[in-house]
Structure 1
Amino acid sequence: MLHNELVFLRALEAEDLEFLYALENDAALWTVSDNVVPISRYTLRQYLDNAAADWQEVRQLRLVICATDDKRAVGTVDLFDYQARHQRAGIGIALLPAEQGRGYAQAALQLVISYAHTTLHLHQLYCTIATDNVRSIYLFEKLGFTVVGVRKQWLRKADGWQDVLEYQCIV
């Protein structure tokens, strides 16, 4: 169910330590997260030890995006801030820099959006995208997300502040 011709999604495994270490310590991704310092292998190992926790309890789910052809991990897709009563969650995606531009993000998001609707019974997904992240804006709009607002000066960057767009998709 969580696969197509380009990618498949799977749960985190202990063997994902080095992959996560590379992804989480990519400073280019820090501008859209709360990370400002490198994450240690020890911290990631602890995270992996608890990754199998019930998604409704921890209110988040992280899946590894793997290329179908050679089964290598290329990124992650996250559902977070799960709200059971309102049947919604935030969604985010991150790919290793070398894996971007190959269609993996769109293929993975299509799978997780379908999974969120049919299996998790979510009513809506939302995401926040920096106004200069043209590729993500195009991707999420192509998959049915619509702008519902703008947060002014939301992200702090080295050269000042940046607005973000708030997107929503009723699934």
Structure 2
Amino acid sequence: MTSRLSVSADRPEAAAAHAGSVLLRPWRETDIPFLQRLRNDVPLQAQLLARARGSDEAAVRRWLQARAEGERSLFLVIADPDAGEPLGYLQIVDIDPEDRRGELGICLAPAAQGRGLGRAAVRAALAAARSDRGLRKVSLRVRADNLRAIRCYDATGFARCGLLREHVCIEGSWRDVVLMEAFLEPAGAPCGS
């Protein structure tokens, strides 16, 4: 298996690649019911600093189309490498081609968590962000009490770079948010054209 992930806007089938114990691939129409369940899972979305909003199939399809199109985002389904069944998704959004940065988000179904699948997917996504999109830095936001996710990000090269105290109200409580970043090439490299 390889951690290389090729992402091509004109050949989306080329975007599928094995990454350790997961397959990263473009979304399929058959993924919509699974992704709808993830988007409507209130506790899971709360862990992700999001709020479940009761998405129907049409709303999920619009969300997927918006995330999968254009140069400002990269959206991939995290799937079982043998069966191809979805386990979650990963996205890099707000890609800025001039500053060569983007923001990572990952969502794994509860049954897929704790098995190293997130680490494998993040590593492959960071490699694709650098090689295919030319990014030099990826950042993320994570709830300060989401220790499993923070361990994953620490293990994949992210470093803490800030803390937003009492930043979001989730489940009736103010929650701190940790800011993390990963440099995909040496920090301090010259910038400009």
Normalising by structure 1, we get a TM-score of: 0.91
Match of 2:63 among 47, 70, 76: 47
Give the whole-Å Cα distance in 1 for the aligned partners of 2:67 and 2:142: 26
Please identify runs of 4+ aligned residues in structure 1 that moved more than 6 A: none
**What's the CA shift for 1:36?**
4.1
Question: Structure 1: how far apart are the matches of 2:124 and 2:134?
Answer: 14
Partners of 1:71 and 1:12 in 2: CA distance: 11
Farther off after superposition, 19-28 or 29-38: 29-38
Greater relative contact order (CA < 8 Å, ≥ 6 in sequence): 1
The residue aligned with 2:8 is none
1:106 matched to which residue of 2? 119
Please say if 1:15 is aligned against 2:30.
yes
Q: Structure 1 pair 84/101, CA: closer, same or farther in 2 (3 Å)?
A: same
Q: Which has the larger displacement, 120-129 or 43-52?
A: 43-52
The Cα of 1:87 is off from its aligned counterpart by: 0.2
Contact 1:14 1:49 in 2 (8 A): no
1:29 to 40, 44, 61: 44
Deviations 1:71-124 (A, max 9, x none): 211010010111111000000110011111121101111110111111111000
- Once the two structures are superposed, residues 21-66 of structure 1 have per-residue CA deviations (whole angstroms, 9 ceiling, x without a partner) of 1111111133234434211112123334555522x1xx22210001
Structure 2 residue ranges without an equivalent (≥5): 6-17, 185-193
Identity within the alignment, %: 28
The equivalent residue for 1:83 is 96
Unaligned segments of structure 1, at least 5 residues:
none
Distance 1:154-1:117 versus aligned 2 partners, 3 A rule:
same
Match of 1:164 among 160, 163, 177: 177
